[in-house]
Protein backbone atom coordinates (compact mmCIF):
# COMPACT_ATOMS: atom_id res chain seq x y z
CA UNK A 1 0.00 0.00 0.00
CA UNK A 2 1.08 3.54 -0.70
CA UNK A 3 1.55 5.07 2.78
CA UNK A 4 1.98 8.68 3.97
CA UNK A 5 5.56 7.89 4.98
CA UNK A 6 6.37 6.82 1.41
CA UNK A 7 4.84 10.04 0.09
CA UNK A 8 6.85 12.06 2.62
CA UNK A 9 10.10 10.33 1.60
CA UNK A 10 9.35 10.96 -2.08
CA UNK A 11 8.75 14.66 -1.38
CA UNK A 12 12.03 14.86 0.54
CA UNK A 13 13.95 13.30 -2.35
CA UNK A 14 12.36 15.68 -4.86
CA UNK A 15 13.12 18.62 -2.55
CA UNK A 16 16.76 17.55 -2.34
CA UNK A 17 17.03 17.25 -6.13
CA UNK A 18 15.36 20.66 -6.54
CA UNK A 19 17.73 22.32 -4.07
CA UNK A 20 20.70 20.79 -5.88
CA UNK A 21 19.48 21.99 -9.28
CA UNK A 22 18.87 25.54 -8.00
CA UNK A 23 22.51 25.72 -7.02
CA UNK A 24 23.91 24.59 -10.38
CA UNK A 25 25.41 26.78 -13.10
CA UNK A 26 22.80 25.47 -15.52
CA UNK A 27 19.96 26.95 -13.43
CA UNK A 28 21.74 30.29 -13.03
CA UNK A 29 22.27 30.42 -16.81
CA UNK A 30 18.67 29.50 -17.61
CA UNK A 31 17.25 31.96 -15.08
CA UNK A 32 18.49 35.03 -16.93
CA UNK A 33 18.02 33.79 -20.50
CA UNK A 34 14.38 32.77 -20.70
CA UNK A 35 13.64 35.13 -23.57
CA UNK A 36 16.66 33.94 -25.55
CA UNK A 37 15.74 30.27 -25.07
CA UNK A 38 12.16 30.89 -26.23
CA UNK A 39 13.40 32.82 -29.27
CA UNK A 40 15.91 30.09 -30.11
CA UNK A 41 13.21 27.40 -29.87
CA UNK A 42 10.88 29.32 -32.20
CA UNK A 43 13.71 30.09 -34.64
CA UNK A 44 14.76 26.42 -34.64
CA UNK A 45 11.24 25.25 -35.50
CA UNK A 46 11.01 27.81 -38.31
CA UNK A 47 14.37 26.73 -39.75
CA UNK A 48 13.30 23.08 -39.66
CA UNK A 49 9.97 23.87 -41.37
CA UNK A 50 11.49 26.08 -44.09
CA UNK A 51 14.33 23.64 -44.66
CA UNK A 52 11.95 20.71 -45.11
CA UNK A 53 9.94 22.68 -47.70
CA UNK A 54 13.11 23.50 -49.64
CA UNK A 55 14.36 19.91 -49.35
CA UNK A 56 11.02 18.54 -50.61
CA UNK A 57 11.00 20.90 -53.60
CA UNK A 58 14.64 20.19 -54.45
CA UNK A 59 14.28 16.41 -54.26
CA UNK A 60 11.06 16.41 -56.31
CA UNK A 61 12.79 18.41 -59.04
CA UNK A 62 15.94 16.29 -58.94
CA UNK A 63 13.96 13.04 -59.20
CA UNK A 64 11.51 14.30 -61.81
CA UNK A 65 11.03 11.42 -64.31
CA UNK A 66 11.11 13.91 -67.23
CA UNK A 67 14.73 14.63 -66.39
CA UNK A 68 15.68 11.00 -65.88
CA UNK A 69 15.59 7.82 -67.91
CA UNK A 70 12.38 7.30 -69.84
CA UNK A 71 11.83 3.89 -68.24
CA UNK A 72 11.22 5.54 -64.85
CA UNK A 73 7.47 5.89 -64.40
CA UNK A 74 5.72 8.59 -62.40
CA UNK A 75 4.75 6.00 -59.77
CA UNK A 76 8.37 4.89 -59.36
CA UNK A 77 9.47 8.52 -59.15
CA UNK A 78 6.94 9.24 -56.39
CA UNK A 79 8.07 6.16 -54.46
CA UNK A 80 11.73 7.10 -54.72
CA UNK A 81 10.95 10.70 -53.72
CA UNK A 82 9.06 9.52 -50.63
CA UNK A 83 11.92 7.21 -49.68
CA UNK A 84 14.66 9.84 -50.01
CA UNK A 85 12.54 12.50 -48.30
CA UNK A 86 12.04 10.31 -45.23
CA UNK A 87 15.77 9.98 -44.67
CA UNK A 88 16.87 13.50 -45.64
CA UNK A 89 14.24 15.09 -43.38
CA UNK A 90 15.51 13.04 -40.44
CA UNK A 91 19.10 14.14 -41.12
CA UNK A 92 17.99 17.78 -41.43
CA UNK A 93 16.11 17.75 -38.12
CA UNK A 94 19.01 16.18 -36.26
CA UNK A 95 21.48 18.65 -37.79
CA UNK A 96 19.39 21.72 -36.87
CA UNK A 97 18.72 20.47 -33.33
CA UNK A 98 22.43 19.78 -32.73
CA UNK A 99 23.34 23.26 -34.00
CA UNK A 100 20.64 24.86 -31.81
CA UNK A 101 21.92 22.95 -28.79
CA UNK A 102 25.46 24.13 -29.52
CA UNK A 103 24.28 27.76 -29.71
CA UNK A 104 22.39 27.34 -26.43
CA UNK A 105 25.42 25.91 -24.63
CA UNK A 106 27.61 28.75 -25.94
CA UNK A 107 25.09 31.49 -25.07
CA UNK A 108 24.48 30.18 -21.55
CA UNK A 109 28.23 29.81 -21.00
CA UNK A 110 27.70 26.39 -19.50
CA UNK A 111 30.74 24.57 -18.11
CA UNK A 112 32.22 22.53 -20.95
CA UNK A 113 33.94 19.96 -18.72
CA UNK A 114 30.87 17.93 -17.69
CA UNK A 115 29.37 18.14 -21.18
CA UNK A 116 32.61 16.94 -22.76
CA UNK A 117 32.79 14.08 -20.26
CA UNK A 118 29.23 13.00 -21.03
CA UNK A 119 29.82 13.12 -24.79
CA UNK A 120 33.06 11.20 -24.35
CA UNK A 121 31.26 8.53 -22.37
CA UNK A 122 28.59 8.27 -25.04
CA UNK A 123 31.28 7.93 -27.68
CA UNK A 124 32.92 5.05 -25.83
CA UNK A 125 29.54 3.34 -25.33
CA UNK A 126 28.74 3.67 -29.01
CA UNK A 127 32.16 2.35 -29.96
CA UNK A 128 31.69 -0.84 -27.92
CA UNK A 129 27.95 -1.43 -28.17
CA UNK A 130 26.72 0.05 -31.41
CA UNK A 131 28.74 -1.70 -34.11
CA UNK A 132 25.56 -3.19 -35.56
CA UNK A 133 23.92 0.25 -35.54
CA UNK A 134 26.84 1.72 -37.47
CA UNK A 135 26.63 -1.14 -39.98
CA UNK A 136 22.86 -0.57 -40.27
CA UNK A 137 23.48 3.08 -41.15
CA UNK A 138 26.25 2.31 -43.66
CA UNK A 139 24.10 -0.31 -45.43
CA UNK A 140 21.10 2.04 -45.35
CA UNK A 141 23.10 4.79 -47.04
CA UNK A 142 24.17 2.41 -49.82
CA UNK A 143 20.60 1.13 -50.28
CA UNK A 144 19.35 4.69 -50.79
CA UNK A 145 22.30 5.92 -52.84
CA UNK A 146 22.14 2.95 -55.21
CA UNK A 147 18.32 3.02 -55.34
CA UNK A 148 18.20 -0.73 -54.65
CA UNK A 149 14.52 -0.51 -53.66
CA UNK A 150 11.95 2.12 -52.75
CA UNK A 151 8.80 2.49 -50.67
CA UNK A 152 6.08 0.55 -52.50
CA UNK A 153 8.44 -1.97 -54.15
CA UNK A 154 7.90 -5.70 -53.64
CA UNK A 155 11.19 -7.27 -52.58
CA UNK A 156 12.66 -10.38 -51.01
CA UNK A 157 15.67 -10.17 -48.69
CA UNK A 158 18.01 -12.86 -47.43
CA UNK A 159 19.01 -12.72 -43.76
CA UNK A 160 21.41 -15.60 -43.35
CA UNK A 161 19.42 -18.68 -44.34
CA UNK A 162 16.03 -17.00 -43.83
CA UNK A 163 14.19 -15.18 -46.60
CA UNK A 164 11.53 -12.52 -46.09
CA UNK A 165 9.49 -10.90 -48.81
CA UNK A 166 6.83 -8.25 -48.99
CA UNK A 167 6.00 -4.68 -49.92
CA UNK A 168 8.37 -2.01 -48.62
CA UNK A 169 6.32 0.24 -46.33
CA UNK A 170 9.15 2.33 -44.92
CA UNK A 171 12.91 2.76 -45.20
CA UNK A 172 15.27 4.54 -42.84
CA UNK A 173 19.04 4.46 -42.68
CA UNK A 174 18.71 1.90 -39.87
CA UNK A 175 16.00 -0.52 -40.98
CA UNK A 176 13.59 -1.57 -43.72
CA UNK A 177 9.93 -2.36 -42.99
CA UNK A 178 8.20 -5.06 -45.09
CA UNK A 179 4.51 -6.06 -45.18
CA UNK A 180 4.07 -9.65 -46.41
CA UNK A 181 1.05 -11.17 -48.16
CA UNK A 182 -0.37 -12.35 -44.82
CA UNK A 183 -0.33 -8.80 -43.50
CA UNK A 184 2.57 -9.40 -41.10
CA UNK A 185 4.97 -6.48 -40.64
CA UNK A 186 8.71 -7.29 -40.64
CA UNK A 187 11.30 -4.83 -39.31
CA UNK A 188 14.58 -5.80 -40.97
CA UNK A 189 17.86 -4.16 -39.80
CA UNK A 190 19.77 -3.01 -42.87
CA UNK A 191 23.00 -4.61 -41.62
CA UNK A 192 21.59 -8.15 -41.95
CA UNK A 193 20.40 -7.74 -45.56
CA UNK A 194 22.87 -9.74 -47.63
CA UNK A 195 20.85 -10.11 -50.85
CA UNK A 196 17.86 -7.97 -51.86
CA UNK A 197 15.76 -8.99 -54.87
CA UNK A 198 13.51 -6.25 -56.24
CA UNK A 199 10.58 -7.76 -58.14
CA UNK A 200 9.06 -4.43 -59.20
CA UNK A 201 11.96 -2.33 -60.47
CA UNK A 202 11.64 -0.86 -63.97
CA UNK A 203 9.37 -3.64 -65.16
CA UNK A 204 8.07 -6.97 -63.89
CA UNK A 205 7.52 -10.22 -65.75
CA UNK A 206 4.48 -12.44 -65.63
CA UNK A 207 5.39 -16.10 -66.00
CA UNK A 208 2.93 -18.89 -66.80
CA UNK A 209 4.06 -22.50 -67.04
CA UNK A 210 2.10 -25.27 -68.76
CA UNK A 211 2.69 -29.01 -68.84
CA UNK A 212 1.29 -30.84 -71.87
CA UNK A 213 1.42 -34.40 -73.15
CA UNK A 214 4.34 -35.44 -75.36
CA UNK A 215 2.16 -36.11 -78.39
CA UNK A 216 0.87 -32.52 -78.62
CA UNK A 217 1.75 -30.37 -81.63
CA UNK A 218 4.08 -27.62 -80.39
CA UNK A 219 3.38 -25.48 -83.45
CA UNK A 220 -0.37 -25.63 -82.76
CA UNK A 221 0.11 -24.87 -79.07
CA UNK A 222 2.39 -21.92 -79.84
CA UNK A 223 -0.20 -20.50 -82.24
CA UNK A 224 -2.97 -20.78 -79.63
CA UNK A 225 -0.82 -19.18 -76.88
CA UNK A 226 0.34 -16.28 -79.04
CA UNK A 227 -3.17 -15.58 -80.35
CA UNK A 228 -4.58 -15.66 -76.84
CA UNK A 229 -1.79 -13.33 -75.71
CA UNK A 230 -2.51 -10.82 -78.48
CA UNK A 231 -6.22 -10.74 -77.63
CA UNK A 232 -5.37 -10.29 -73.97
CA UNK A 233 -2.96 -7.45 -74.72
CA UNK A 234 -5.41 -5.55 -76.93
CA UNK A 235 -7.96 -5.19 -74.14
CA UNK A 236 -7.95 -1.66 -72.71
CA UNK A 237 -7.74 -2.74 -69.08
CA UNK A 238 -4.76 -5.05 -69.56
CA UNK A 239 -2.93 -3.00 -72.18
CA UNK A 240 -2.33 -0.43 -69.42
CA UNK A 241 -0.77 -3.09 -67.19
CA UNK A 242 1.28 -4.96 -69.80
CA UNK A 243 4.30 -3.78 -71.77
CA UNK A 244 3.91 -6.49 -74.41
CA UNK A 245 1.66 -9.38 -75.40
CA UNK A 246 2.23 -12.73 -73.64
CA UNK A 247 4.01 -15.17 -75.92
CA UNK A 248 5.41 -18.69 -75.78
CA UNK A 249 8.98 -18.12 -74.59
CA UNK A 250 10.48 -21.59 -74.64
CA UNK A 251 10.11 -25.31 -74.06
CA UNK A 252 11.53 -25.27 -70.55
CA UNK A 253 11.51 -29.01 -69.84
CA UNK A 254 11.03 -32.32 -71.65
CA UNK A 255 10.24 -35.39 -69.58
CA UNK A 256 8.57 -38.74 -69.98
CA UNK A 257 5.52 -37.37 -68.18
CA UNK A 258 5.13 -34.41 -70.54
CA UNK A 259 6.46 -31.18 -72.04
CA UNK A 260 6.74 -28.02 -69.94
CA UNK A 261 6.21 -24.74 -71.76
CA UNK A 262 6.94 -21.27 -70.39
CA UNK A 263 4.89 -18.23 -71.37
CA UNK A 264 5.89 -14.75 -70.32
CA UNK A 265 5.43 -11.02 -70.86
CA UNK A 266 6.81 -7.83 -69.36
CA UNK A 267 4.33 -5.89 -67.20
CA UNK A 268 4.10 -2.58 -65.38
CA UNK A 269 5.81 -3.11 -61.98
CA UNK A 270 3.57 -4.90 -59.48
CA UNK A 271 1.01 -6.18 -62.02
CA UNK A 272 2.66 -9.51 -62.85
CA UNK A 273 0.62 -11.64 -60.44
CA UNK A 274 -2.82 -10.32 -61.45
CA UNK A 275 -1.94 -10.48 -65.15
CA UNK A 276 -0.63 -14.04 -64.85
CA UNK A 277 -3.73 -15.18 -62.95
CA UNK A 278 -6.13 -13.71 -65.50
CA UNK A 279 -4.16 -15.00 -68.47
CA UNK A 280 -4.13 -18.54 -67.05
CA UNK A 281 -7.95 -18.52 -66.97
CA UNK A 282 -8.23 -17.37 -70.56
CA UNK A 283 -5.52 -19.65 -71.89
CA UNK A 284 -7.15 -22.65 -70.19
CA UNK A 285 -10.41 -21.86 -71.98
CA UNK A 286 -8.64 -21.52 -75.34
CA UNK A 287 -6.79 -24.82 -74.86
CA UNK A 288 -10.02 -26.59 -73.88
CA UNK A 289 -11.75 -25.31 -77.03
CA UNK A 290 -8.94 -26.81 -79.09
CA UNK A 291 -9.10 -30.08 -77.12
CA UNK A 292 -5.60 -29.73 -75.73
CA UNK A 293 -5.39 -31.13 -72.22
CA UNK A 294 -2.95 -30.20 -69.50
CA UNK A 295 -0.98 -32.95 -67.78
Cα separation, 287 vs 283, whole angstroms: 6
Q: What is the pLDDT of residue 2?
A: 44
Q: Is the pLDDT of residue 89 over 80?
A: yes
Where does residue 262 fall: left (phi above 0), alpha (psi -120 to 50 degrees), or beta otherwise? beta
Q: Is the pLDDT of residue 215 over 80?
A: yes
Q: Quickly state the pLDDT bin for 37 (edges 50, 70, 90).
A: confident
Q: Quickly state the pLDDT bin for 248 (edges 50, 70, 90).
A: very high
**Mean pLDDT computed over 103-110:** 73
Q: Is the pLDDT of residue 125 over 70?
A: no
Q: Could you tell me the maximum CA-CA distance found in the chain, to the nearest angstrom?
A: 97
Q: What is the pLDDT of residue 254?
A: 85
Cα separation, 240 vs 3, whole angstroms: 73
Q: Is the pLDDT of residue 55 over 80?
A: yes
24 Cβ contact partners less than 8 Å away, ≥ 6 residues apart? none
Could you tell me where the DSSP H helices lie in 162-240?
218-234, 236-239
**Mean pLDDT computed over 34-60:** 83
Q: Is the pLDDT of residue 269 over 50?
A: yes
Phi, psi of 105 (to 5 degrees): -60, -40
Share of the chain above pLDDT 90, in %: 21
Q: What is the pLDDT of residue 140?
A: 82
- Tell me the torsion sign for CA atoms 66, 72, 74, 78: negative
- Tell me the torsion sign for CA atoms 76, 77, 78, 82: positive
Q: Could you give the C-alpha distances from 114 to 102, 121, 162, 216, 267, in angstroms and in order?
A: 14, 11, 46, 85, 61
Q: Is the pLDDT of residue 11 over 60?
A: no
Cα separation, 264 vs 234, whole angstroms: 16
Phi, psi of 3 (to 5 degrees): -95, 170
Amino acid sequence: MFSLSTLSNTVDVLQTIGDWFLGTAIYRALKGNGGFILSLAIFTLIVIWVGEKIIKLSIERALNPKKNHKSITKLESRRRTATVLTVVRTFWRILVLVMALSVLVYQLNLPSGPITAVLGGLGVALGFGARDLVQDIINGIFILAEDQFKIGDYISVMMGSVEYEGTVENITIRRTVLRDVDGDLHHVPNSVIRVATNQTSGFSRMVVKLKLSNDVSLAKVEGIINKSGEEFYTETVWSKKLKEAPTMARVSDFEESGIEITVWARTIPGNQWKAASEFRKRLKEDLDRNKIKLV
